[in-house]
Amino acid sequence: MDSVGSIILFVIVALSIVVFSILAVTTRKILRAATYLLFTLFATAVVYFMLDYQFLGAVQIAVYAGGIVVLFVFAILLTSHPGHNSEKLASKRRVLGLIASLAMLFIAGGSLLARCGALSVTKPDVATPDMNQIGTAMMGVGEGQYLLPFEAISVLLLACIIGGIVVARKR
């Protein structure tokens, strides 16, 4: 049984995820879309905190809300005029996109509801991984430990840095 406070918090977070993600793809001002994306990412971080993954919520806020959204805002200010409305969509294209996303929604939602029994589990009461366990899992080479992907992603980030400099530098 969940407390009333956690139910209210969940309703607020779920509603803000839904509303802000719809606004982020329908607003015609691109800077506002980035702001609504920021709110959606914050609400996702709150969901991570509610599921007791504190480290993941902190990473979400630091990387997404702190890094990626700032990159978006800089890129928007560099490539478009503030206050400029994007033009209205052609209705054919909008209808096609609406059909595709609604079909996705109904197919995935139908398969979710068909497995309603398997998914109506409440949150199991186990200790969530603490920082010590996460660090051991990232740095070990045993079973269920992830040193190789960790190193691969560091090489990927290095390649991304070099690629970003080479692509965006002035000639």
Partner 1 sequence: MEITALYYLVPSLIMFCCGLYGFLTRRNMIAMLISLELMLNGVDLNFVIFNRFLFPGQMEGMIFTLFGIALAAAETALAIAIIINIFRWVNNIDIRELNQMKF
Residues 39-98 within binding reach of partner 1 (CB under 8 A):
40-41, 44, 47-48, 51-53, 56, 59-60, 63-64, 67-68, 71-72, 74-76, 78-80, 86, 89, 93-94, 96-98
Considering only CA atoms, give the Rg of the chain.
Answer: 21
Which of 8, 12, 58, 105 binds partner 1 (CB under 8 A)? It is 105
Q: Which of 119, 141 has the CB closer to partner 1? A: 119
Which of 8, 104, 139, 147 binds partner 1 (CB under 8 A)? It is 104
2 binds partner 1 (CB under 8 A): yes
Which of 5, 82, 83, 126 binds partner 1 (CB under 8 A)? It is 126
Query: Are the C-beta atoms of residues 67 and 90 closer than 8 Å to each other?
Result: no
139 binds partner 1 (CB under 8 A): no
112 binds partner 1 (CB under 8 A): yes
Angstrom CA distances, 14 to 21, 62, 106, 134, stand at 11, 21, 19, 28
33 binds partner 1 (CB under 8 A): yes
The encoded tokens of residue 127 equal 């200790």
Burial of 134 (0-12, 13-18, 19+ CB in 10 A): middle
Which of 58, 123, 147, 151 binds partner 1 (CB under 8 A)? It is 123
147 binds partner 1 (CB under 8 A): no
Query: Are the C-beta atoms of residues 159 and 170 closer than 8 Å to each other?
Result: no
- Segment holding 133, helix H or strand E: helix 131-139
